[in-house]
């Protein structure tokens, strides 16, 4: 997945500027991103503060790690069942 060139802090700053009354078209032009990107960010980060965004990033990383561990466990179980000749 491509990493954004903007940090969560910058993204939240852009959203706060839009909430303060800066037109979205002008904000996007100054920031160098598209309208669609802004609306995607607003859907994900709208109403958040910087500590909330940091916590979200930590939770997403932990969730990915747990998913990987679960997938490895299922592969191990499948390999053992295949080696022992267990049918399901």
State the total domains in the chain. 2
Are 56 and 23 found together in one domain? no
Residues 5 and 37: their CA atoms lie apart, in Å, by 12
In this predicted model, what pLDDT tens digit does every residue of 72-82 receive, in sequence order?
999 999 999 98
Are 4 and 36 found together in one domain? yes
pLDDT value at 23 more than 80: yes
Residue with tokens 């747990």: 66
Are 83 and 67 found together in one domain? yes
Q: Which range of residues forms the domain containing residue 9?
A: 1-48
pLDDT band (50, 70, 90) for residue 60? very high
- pTM over 0.85, yes/no: no
């Amino acid at each position: 997945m491509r990493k954004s060139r903007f940090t969560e802090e910058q993204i939240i700053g852009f959203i706060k500027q839009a909430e303060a009354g800066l037109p979205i078209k002008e904000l996007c032009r100054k920031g160098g991103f598209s309208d669609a990107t802004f609306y995607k960010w607003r859907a994900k980060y709208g109403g958040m503060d910087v500590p909330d965004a940091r916590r979200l990033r930590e939770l997403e990383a932990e969730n990915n790690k747990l998913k990987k561990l679960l997938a490895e466990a299922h592969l191990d179980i499948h390999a053992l069942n295949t080696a022992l000749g267990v049918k399901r």
